[in-house]
Structure 1
Amino acid sequence: MARLSVAAACLLCAFTSSARAQTVLKTERCLSGSVIQDRLLEKEYVAGDFHLFYSLQGNDRLHHTGDSNGNGTPDSIENMAIQLQAAQRFYSGALGLRSPLRQKVFANAGQINIYVLRKDRGKGAAFDKVSRERMADGTTLPCALKLIVDTSVNPLRNVTPAHELFHLYQYGYGVFKQRWYLEGMARWLEMPYRDSSKGMAAAAPSLNCPDYANASYDAAIFWHRYAQRYFAPVDVPAGLRQLTYTDGSPVFKQSALPGGAMLAPFFDSLFRASQQISQQQQVANTQWTEKMQRSPQFSQDICDALSAITPQRGAAAR
């Protein structure tokens, strides 16, 4: 009887823990958005999960309007879609990450909308809320995740679309928005799209994770060197290496991401940490304020999630 009671208690404990996890892991409601409420993007280009909205007139007029194949769609828009779909296949296929549209938190999003707008600052932005956007003419779009890409971006020389898409993957796995994690890791993930001569050749001054808590894009060297030291590389599949832009140039400039095998287990670990901290804070994942998400106090939790999946030094990938 005692054994049965212990077993029952353990089962109840496991059930309670699972129930608590469910209460803090909620789905984002589809909110009314305001990103394009004063804009009119009269053109739409659809490529799989991606819907690209752009304009050929007015303040948000596309900068690069050349149409080399004469199909009626500017090359820059086609190339943006090519880059996004290639990145999605690399992130979800080769790296084994769950697509944002397959995450419970984003279950109400049916697509990913890319708004090509004139930005006063920066080249792109990614949002962690599901929204139904409405344009100035009253056109209402379906519930979606969204990215903004500046009208000046030329995907042949700029990987902003792939960079911003990776942020959606990060948002899908956890509540954290520390810049050294968000921007540093996303910058590292740009490597396969860049010429090898533009890779991260410099040695990281430290592989101690907490040392980078105040960094931003420059934390990319930490993620690169740490992953390369302790984890195996992930090849860019042959099918992806053959992908080209409209001018015939390859989308992927390198054949592998050194240390890429770190990503899937790290994000699984971060997903668990995000739930545990939400339980401790008694705040559901959808209720975290922007200030909480960016708080430096959670940098150590990100480092702990990384440490939890790092092999022993003697077994590290070389």
Structure 2
Amino acid sequence: MSGILKAVCLSAALLFGSLAHAQETQCARQVFKSMEQLSHTVEQGEFKLWYATQGKHALADTQDLNGNGVPDRIDDLLLQLQAARDFYSDVLHLTAPLRQPRYAQAHTINVYVLAMRKGNGLAFHEPVQSRPSRKADSEPCGLRIYVNNQLDPSRNLTPAHELFHLYQYGYAMFKRPWYLEGMARLMETAFAGPERLQRYQQASSGPVSCQDVIGESYSAVRFWWEQQDAQAIEIPASLSRLRYTDGTPVFTNQRFKHGEMVKRVLEELGDLSRNTAQSMDLPSYRWPVREQGSKDFDAPMCQALAKVLH
């Protein structure tokens, strides 16, 4: 093959690869009618919060004791999200969702405070460009989190929990409950300590293996809790001093004994995700939903975890 032909073939391959990557990471346009009722927004860093003070999606409590023009619950929600982001990325050194190749087109994390039929929050794995109607302009490409409008962030860690899901989505494609919910529940202990896990630990007698929890969801935290590092990570003073508007500390815990483990796990599952996509001839990121949640991945996930867990 001549040098010119090789160069042409290489250029074509690079162009095809670039186009394929762009198609995989592109944002779908979505009509989200509730946006019309969320008449207030506040932005800080990578977060944009959408909320209402009247109507169906109105905050349960709109008091503004600090007089900054923003309801205290929104101040507290934004504080928890920013604190969680700083802890995950700056202290644990996890790659933030918006810095992951999967979300190369996303520019912000939209947090919608809504009346939810059930649950306190929800994090979505695909980036979208949302608009209130088909004729309206779309917002910039972003990720999405829903938070229940009844929730009091100074008493509930759902925002930090849901944000961690975005970190998980950025690393790997697997959507198995024992991994997603079990590990996200573990992350709550960085903020509030292990007391919240007592009901899960009481269900365990002896060591818990990965295989023991593959059929579980939140209760799988009992497996993750056992995977402690030799040395705990101290919560930095810059985070320990943070207070909600009522004076409650954002972090009531002083140390976290799972930081290095969490990073190893996410990186190992990221490698497994990429290798699985290649071996199964799947796109790197746009796996069919059924594949993402397939039980067939439990065994290889447990095998991968065995490499990096004590």
**Residue deviations 1:111-165 (CA, integer Å, cap 9, x gap):** 1000111110111100111111112593532110110001001001111100000
Aligned residue for 1:112? 109
Which structure's relative contact order is higher, taking Cα pairs within 8 Å and 6+ residues apart? 1
Unaligned ranges ≥5, structure 2: 1-15
Deviates further, 161-170 or 31-40: 31-40
Identity over the aligned pairs, expressed in percent?
37
Aligned residue for 1:80? 77
Aligned residue for 1:295? 294
1:264-303 → structure 2 map (5 Å cutoff): 264-303=263-302
What secondary structure sits across from 1:190 in the alignment? helix
Mapped partners of 2:146, 2:241: distance in 1: 27
1:82-97 → structure 2 map (5 Å cutoff): 82-97=79-94
Contact 1:24 1:279 in 2 (8 A): no
Contact 2:208 2:222 in 1 (8 A): no
Say if 1:24 and 1:298 are closer, same or farther in 2 by CA, change over 3 A: farther
Mapped partners of 1:32, 1:274: distance in 2: 26
Deviates further, 114-123 or 204-213: 204-213
Letter in 2 for 1:263: V
What secondary structure sits across from 1:60 in the alignment? coil
Contact 1:235 1:255 in 2 (8 A): yes
Aligned residue for 2:210? 209
Deviates further, 299-308 or 248-257: 299-308
Mapped partners of 2:188, 2:216: distance in 1: 18
Aligned residue for 1:46? 43
Aligned residue for 2:143? 145
Mapped partners of 1:159, 1:179: distance in 2: 18
1:193 to 168, 191, 194: 191
Size of the alignment, in residue pairs?
290
What secondary structure sits across from 1:261 in the alignment? helix
Mapped partners of 1:282, 1:247: distance in 2: 53
Aligned residue for 2:222? 221
CA RMSD of aligned residues (A): 2.3
Say if 1:68 and 1:139 are closer, same or farther in 2 by CA, change over 3 A: farther
Contact 2:29 2:138 in 1 (8 A): no
Contact 1:36 1:133 in 2 (8 A): no
Mapped partners of 1:159, 1:167: distance in 2: 13
Aligned residue for 1:161? 159
Aligned residue for 2:4? none
Letter in 1 for 2:191: Y
Unaligned ranges ≥5, structure 1: 1-18, 312-318
Say if 1:96 and 1:26 are closer, same or farther in 2 by CA, change over 3 A: farther
